[in-house]
């Protein structure tokens, strides 16, 4: 902590629960904000359905990772307390209530959207719309495409209970034989490769789009599947399992370890059992007995299970029910140099704002390096690259062209482990030197480094990003790409790669701060400087844009800053364990969250540095790291200062200010109870996504927003 003395903290702020929000409950509050967008009447209908699907996918991952971790602690009798002082068991109890409430909200949104979509000719689970022709087509589809794939299995002493895979959907049928009245219980598991919805074609249904869930189709034609039996009861269920992969210290071969761990993931302990209601009581008792539920959460719903699969319906070709298509601009600075990335970067540092400016420029940077005979070496980190990666293709081409290419492939990127193993093998076959980094730490930093032979000698060109080298997410995540040929950045980038590939701890870094070495401490130093400025009567402010804020030390440092008189404004999209605006604790701290068409993903820090913000004298940084313990302790991350005046002002006066003054997509945190309410605008609202879609790009000649901002940010709550 700062050496400056603090005013005594009121006694009621010393307890952990009074100082911090629970991490897991804060995440659930974030997903509630995502889900609320499904009710945003300003959005087209299929976009609202998309947010409902995203909330379902988010909740699945939360259960498979976070809740699974807590359940594992309970089973192992680990009593580690959360930041707010809760045991794992207490957290699971609180999560259960929140999850059930969230699922009820999801079903309410689905019930609202279905008739609205039906009015537009899109019917989800619209069995009432099935006419004679559609019924005949569905019957043939069932016999030709479903029956050959599914495998009904009797549940009796002669047949062991079948394994239900993670995210598996199944049906249980209570059957009575027609000739002797004997009873039989049958299970049908739906293969994961089978589409969740069957869409009746236009040739049968006309202009209407009719989507029937595959499980409802199986129930509809169960008599064809079980001839000679009468169906007395049925039920649909869904299972989520523990999907986290724990790294074992003794793992000697990371590739072999992860290949086997991915297989084990599919058989993890059950974390969530979802049942439709009414579910056959006998079948439910069997499931509960056979699945070994333990700490699992069991929920029942009269609606649809597995809402993430609604993304299939969102793919319906109805542009009138979606956001108007947006085509990213190609950076003007690059075009001024006839597409020569190196010439543009050599002239001056460049910042690119994705998705408003095309990710293609990042790919072109690597492609040009691959084709340029003057390039001798390329080094690249890869955390998430997607299924179809032009970056991988460019690196492969560079290696095949005889260049020295090094790729740091992170095998521990959750849910991308299998894809990253595939890319690693492909790169190695092309002659790329593939490195897997540290056993205990994830390499999360986003760095590309190109070494080029020029007239005056070798010159290093660098790309640093706040987001992944992923062509799909780059279209929907807001991130920053920073290109530079500054030799100081080049020397530091080389040290980072040597650190990851050879465990050579970097010394005398000139520009970068790196976790787990000194990134957190660098931020602490700048916070302490703001505290010192405030106590000396100078302007003092901290603005930050993050995805998550959970690290106790950082939260305490920000509390100290606020109590010293520093204005602290935080734009935290997701989890935030800091309580804002609590008298005596965080009076000078404001926390807002932005949820909208694009997912806010960039990480930015700005420190007033003794001047009124925004100011060219402020200290501005971008980073690959969030304010989380894992980012500071168990990941290789980078924090870099923006020293170029143009880039500095573009990020501070445009990107950061736009986030701060947004009213149309912003939620304001109530530090007392942890709730978030939509921000209300005094006068016309401001939508930062619309602003950047309709104004010149950062690398062009865009005008700053600084004049539209008053330094003391005043926000007020609106109607939820």
Annotated catalytic residues are 444
Please give the structure tokens belonging to residue 206.
């006309």
- Dihedral pair phi/psi, residue 239, rounded to 5°: -125, 135
| CB distance 391 to 398 below 8 Å | no
Residue of 117, 46, 119 lying closest to 324 (CA atoms) = 46
Residue 46 DSSP class: H
Measure Cα distances from 539 to 7, 568, 589, 612, 707 in Å. 20, 12, 15, 6, 18
Question: What is the H or E stretch that residue 263 is in?
Answer: helix 254-265
Residues 462, 485: Cα–Cα separation, whole Å? 6
Radius of gyration (Cα) for the chain, nearest Å? 27
39 by DSSP, 3-state: which? Answer: helix
| CB distance 473 to 344 below 8 Å | no
Residues 104, 327: Cα–Cα separation, whole Å? 37
Residues 35, 310: Cα–Cα separation, whole Å? 14
| CB distance 350 to 344 below 8 Å | yes
Reading across the β-sheet that carries 168-177, which strands appear in turn? 153-154, 183-190, 168-177, 229-241, 270-276, 297-301
Residue of 558, 574, 571 lying closest to 523 (CA atoms) = 558
| CB distance 587 to 679 below 8 Å | no
190: exposed, middle or buried (C-beta count within 10 Å: 0-12, 13-18, 19+)? buried
Residues 254, 247: Cα–Cα separation, whole Å? 9
Measure Cα distances from 649 to 188, 326, 333, 511, 613 in Å. 60, 26, 16, 18, 11
Question: What is the H or E stretch that residue 205 is in?
Answer: helix 202-205
Residue of 360, 302, 357 lying closest to 326 (CA atoms) = 357
Residues 66, 22: Cα–Cα separation, whole Å? 12
Q: DSSP of 566-585, one letter per residue?
A: -EEEEEESS-B-BPPS-TTT
Question: What is the H or E stretch that residue 170 is in?
Answer: strand 168-177
Measure Cα distances from 452 to 34, 235, 382 in Å. 45, 64, 21
Most distant CA pair in the chain, distance: 93
Measure Cα distances from 268 to 79, 289, 364, 388, 629 in Å. 22, 17, 41, 29, 26
State CA 701 to chain mean position distance: 31
User: Hey, which residues does 274 pair with through a beta bridge?
Assistant: 238, 299
């Amino acid at each position: 902590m700062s050496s400056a003395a603090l005013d005594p903290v009121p006694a009621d702020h010393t307890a952990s629960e009074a100082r911090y929000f629970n991490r897991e409950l804060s995440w659930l509050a974030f997903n509630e904000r995502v889900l609320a967008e499904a009710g945003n009447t300003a959005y087209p209908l299929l976009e609202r359905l998309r947010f409902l699907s995203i909330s379902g996918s988010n909740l699945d991952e939360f259960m498979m990772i976070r809740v699974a971790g807590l359940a594992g602690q309970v089973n192992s009798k680990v009593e580690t307390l959360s930041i707010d002082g809760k045991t794992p068991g207490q957290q699971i109890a609180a999560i259960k209530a929140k999850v059930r409430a969230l699922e009820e909200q999801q079903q309410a949104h689905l019930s609202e959207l279905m008739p609205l979509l039906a009015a537009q000719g899109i019917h989800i689970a619209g069995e009432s719309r099935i006419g004679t022709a559609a019924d005949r087509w569905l019957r043939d589809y069932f016999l030709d495409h479903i029956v050959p794939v599914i495998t009904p299995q009797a549940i009796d002493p002669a047949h062991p209970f079948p394994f239900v895979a993670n995210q598996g959907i199944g049906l249980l049928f209570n059957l009575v034989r027609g000739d002797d009245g004997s009873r039989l219980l049958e299970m049908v598991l739906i293969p994961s490769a089978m589409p969740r919805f069957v869409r009746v074609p236009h040739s049968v249904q006309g202009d209407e789009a009719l989507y029937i869930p595959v499980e409802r189709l199986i129930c509809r034609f169960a008599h064809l599947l079980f001839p000679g039996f009468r169906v007395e009861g049925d039920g649909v269920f869904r299972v989520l399992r523990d999907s986290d992969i724990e790294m074992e210290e003794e793992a000697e071969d990371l590739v072999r370890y992860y290949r086997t761990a991915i297989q084990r993931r599919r058989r993890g302990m059950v974390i969530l059992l979802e049942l439709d209601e009414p579910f056959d009581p006998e079948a439910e008792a069997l499931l509960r007995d056979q699945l070994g539920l333990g700490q699992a959460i069991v929920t029942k719903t009269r609606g649809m299970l597995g809402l993430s699969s609604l993304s299939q319906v969102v793919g319906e070709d109805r542009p009138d029910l979606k956001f108007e298509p947006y085509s990213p601009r190609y950076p003007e600075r690059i075009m001024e140099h006839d597409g020569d990335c190196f010439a543009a970067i050599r002239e001056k540092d460049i910042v690119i704002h994705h998705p408003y400016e095309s990710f293609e420029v990042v790919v072109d940077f690597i492609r040009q390096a691959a084709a340029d005979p003057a390039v001798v070496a390329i080094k690249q980190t890869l955390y998430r690259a997607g299924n179809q990666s032009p970056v991988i293709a460019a690196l492969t081409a560079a290696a095949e062209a005889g260049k020295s290419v090094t790729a740091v492939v992170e095998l521990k990127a959750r849910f991308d482990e299998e894809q990253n193993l595939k890319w690693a093998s492909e790169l190695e076959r092309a002659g790329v030197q593939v490195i897997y980094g540290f056993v205990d730490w994830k390499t999360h930093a986003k760095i590309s480094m190109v070494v080029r032979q020029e007239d005056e000698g070798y010159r290093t060109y660098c790309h640093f990003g706040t987001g992944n080298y992923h062509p799909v997410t780059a279209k929907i995540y807001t991130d920053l790409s920073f290109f530079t040929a500054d030799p100081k950045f080049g020397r530091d980038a080389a040290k980072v790669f040597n650190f990851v590939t050879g465990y050579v701890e970097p010394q005398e870094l000139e520009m970068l701060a790196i976790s787990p070495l000194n990134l957190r401490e660098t931020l602490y130093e700048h916070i302490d400087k703001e505290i010192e400025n405030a106590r000396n009567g100078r302007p003092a402010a901290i603005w930050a844009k993050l995805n998550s804020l959970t690290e106790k030390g950082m939260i305490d440092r920000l509390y100290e800053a606020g109590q010293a008189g520093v204005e602290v404004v935080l734009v935290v999209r997701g989890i935030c364990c800091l309580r804002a605006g609590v008298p005596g604790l965080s009076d000078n701290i404001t926390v807002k969250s932005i949820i909208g068409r694009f997912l806010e993903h960039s990480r930015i820090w700005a420190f007033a540095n003794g001047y009124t913000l925004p100011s060219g004298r402020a200290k501005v940084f971008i980073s690959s790291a969030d304010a989380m313990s894992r980012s500071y302790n168990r990941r290789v991350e980078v924090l870099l200062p923006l020293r170029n005046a143009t880039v500095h002002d573009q990020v501070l006066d445009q990107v950061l200010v736009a986030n701060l003054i947004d009213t149309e997509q912003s939620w304001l945190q109530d530090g007392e109870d942890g709730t978030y309410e939509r921000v209300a605008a005094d006068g016309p609202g401001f939508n930062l996504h619309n602003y950047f879609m309709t104004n010149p790009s950062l690398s062009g000649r865009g005008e700053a927003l600084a004049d539209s901002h008053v330094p003391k940010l005043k926000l007020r709550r609106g109607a939820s």
